[in-house]
Structure 1
Amino acid sequence: MSEPTQRIVETNGIRLNVAEQGEGPLVLLCHGFPESWYSWRHQLGALAAAGFHAVAPDMRGYGKSDRPETIEQYTILHLVGDMVGLLDALEAPSAVIVGHDWGAPVAWHAALLRPDRFRAVVGLSVPFRPRANARPTSLMPRTADSQFYQLYFQEPGVAEAELERDPRATVRTMLYAVSGEGTGAGAGISMVPRSAGILQGVEAPAMLPHWLGESDIDVYAGEFERTGFAGGLNWYRNIDRNWELMAPFAGARVNVPALYMAGDRDLVVAFPGMDRLLANLKLFVPQLRETLMLPGCGHWTQQERPDEVNAAIIGFLRSLPDQG
């Protein structure tokens, strides 16, 4: 089968680079941090072979896509708007949207806000989270000596200085540390020492796990060496702003067919309160078809377990009443 092709598409006032493969009903694949369209390299061909048009953009702020300078241009409404505009640019009336990591909230909110355009949703790692009663950053763990990594990301320039010192080492360490193989090495990722950075005390792997090659690191690192990390970090800097913007939708539920998948070694699954949320997810996503937990899998779901993820997504797509 042919390889994915890439092109630039104008959407929502910016330009997004998209990788695409196949023909048929549209499936959008939204990546997370610190990644690019390349995190879906195992899904594009599989979806194409199954009869779908798979499209994986470099999300706003990443890769070859535009990187607006102001933090305020990375809100959840901008990100969902990018996906709606992408459907328009592709002349697709609707799509199934799939998201991993930060791409998962984009996918969930696209389905929440525009069910007329996103007829089903798949979330990997991050489940749909109903709007909290308090400002999100106020609920994040912190001690006198350390703070939750999302708090560390808030101050512009601080995380950039650390992560951009050696982008290749950054990507190599982060991808390994929170993978299924590196769960122990990544124990310090979620809480960052106030006297150091997120990578301090996290050992880089002597050998990469089987699912990740040096050539894969080359792709990711090459992009971040060129773009820096500010675009992706700006998504985190809108967490409280997103909470404010979503106030009119407090209590709203995702009312399209849905699938949720995660690894049982994913650090997200271990976040405080996540066990209760996952047990009650169907209250907020009434048409949730299934929750799949992949044994031994860490955070990078579709890269660590491509065959299982592909089978689950394709099975879900084929179960939908209307694939067109």
Structure 2
Amino acid sequence: MHPRRADRPDASSVLLAGPWVHNDYSTNGVRLHVAEAGSGPLILLLHGFPQFWWTWRHQIVALADAGYRVVAPDLRGYGASDKPPRPYDVMTTAADIARLVSAMGEREATLVGHDLGGSVAWTVARFRPDVIARLVILSAPHPRRWRAALVSDFKQIGASSHVFGFQTPRIPEQRLTRDGAVEVGRLMTEWAGERWASTVDFAEARERYQQAMLIPQAAYGALEHYRWAVRSLPRPDGVRYTRRMSIPVGMPTLQLHGAQDSCILPTTAQGSSRYVSSTYEWQTISHTGHFLPEEVPDLVTGEILRWIKS
């Protein structure tokens, strides 16, 4: 059963209280909602699918306490940020984030991205290296690795069956929001590591993400990112993007990946080092699945701080 629009939560439902403040910034023609805390050098935390800024609730507090200004935006189409009809290509989303840095009165940031946010972070680093000091990538291959795997790696094609299922109009939105967005919970259960999936924290987070996907137009926005990623593969805009991404990024890059990640296979993400011309480090995190910021929050926080200070 689909909830009636009047029964659905609105964007205010993701303005969750905590030791942070909620702000809106105008950037690249859209309004982005952020949760932020602390003062000092800027750290930007970019969430993935099917989540919103809440992914980073542990890191926001810990990194702010360590002396940083920590900002976790909702990407366009998600949470309390604008959900325009278009565009949802990764270059536009990357421009949102690059311009967010200046909109907040900052010159550069350490950029941390998970899943979709990782793809956006790779793209910002390539298109706007002037605003990025260091890069931390979680559960996300370099875009050229992922785009190649979608057409050549049968194991990753199978793991990405949901992405191909997102390509038709309207029906995927209905499937994603049916019965209280139970499909969101199913995907999270499938992709999470066993240890986290059996906890109360996982059950609570899953409920948060299901509710957030019921915000009007949130499912559409979330899916449009993936529609562009697949549909652009043979198109001129996608070919140009892939070609530009062949040039390595020039800032120190740390890449973390869960050993049990069944959404983005570790073998797909490995090899991203060829697209980094600066210091690069890869870590496989044992006993973890796709959702590293929540499955191993202390480890992720510690690695971000180590990478910034190294």
Q: State whether TM-score is above 0.5.
A: yes
Find 1:51's aligned residue among 67, 82, 92: 67
Mapped partners of 2:242, 2:265: distance in 1: 27
TM-score when normalising by structure 2: 0.84
Q: Check if 1:181 corresponds to 2:172.
A: no
1:230 is aligned to 2:225: no
Q: In structure 1, the residue corresponding to 2:45 is in which secondary structure?
A: strand
**Equivalences, count:** 285
| Cross-structure match for 1:37 | 53
- Quick check: 1:131–1:246 contact (8 Å CA) kept in 2? no
Aligned with 2:248 (options 248, 253, 258): 253
What are the equivalent positions in structure 2 for 1:67-106 lying under 5 Å apart?
Answer: 67-70=83-86, 73-106=87-120
- Indicate the RMSD between aligned Cα atoms, in angstroms: 2.6
Question: Are the aligned partners of 2:159 and 2:262 in contact in 1 as well (CA < 8 Å)?
Answer: no
Within the candidate set 159, 169, 172, 1:159 is matched to 172
1:18-29 equivalent positions in 2, closer than 5 A: 18-29=34-45
Pairing 1:77-156 to 2, within 5 Å after superposition: 77-130=91-144, 138-139=151-152, 141=154, 148-156=161-169
| Partner Cα distance (1:285, 1:146) in 2 | 26
Q: Deviations over 1:266-295 (max 9, x none)?
A: 124537x62xx61x3322213243211111
Q: Distance in 2 between matches of 1:215 and 1:92?
A: 34
Unaligned runs of 5+ in 2: 1-17
Structure 1 residue 220: deviation in Å?
2.0
Structure with the larger helix share: 2
1:129: how far off? 3.6
* Cα shift at 1:243: 2.4
Query: Deviations 1:184-216 (Å, cap 9, x if unpaired)?
Result: xxxxxxxxxxxxxxxxxxxxxxx9522624443
| Cα pair distance change 1:294/1:147, threshold 3 Å | closer
Residue 10 (str. 1) matches residue 26 (str. 2): yes
Matched with 2:272 is 281
How far apart, CA to CA, are the structure 1 residues paired with 2:25 and 2:108?
Answer: 17
The CA distance in 2 between the partners of 1:31 and 1:302, in whole Å, is: 9
Deviations 1:46-66 (A, max 9, x none): 110111111000110001100
Q: Could you say what secondary structure the match of 2:214 adopts?
A: helix
Question: Aligned-pair distance for 1:162?
Answer: 0.9
Greater mean deviation of Cα atoms: 89-98 or 250-259: 250-259
CA–CA separation in structure 2 for the residues paired with 1:20 and 1:67: 21
Give TM-score, length-normalised by structure 1: 0.80
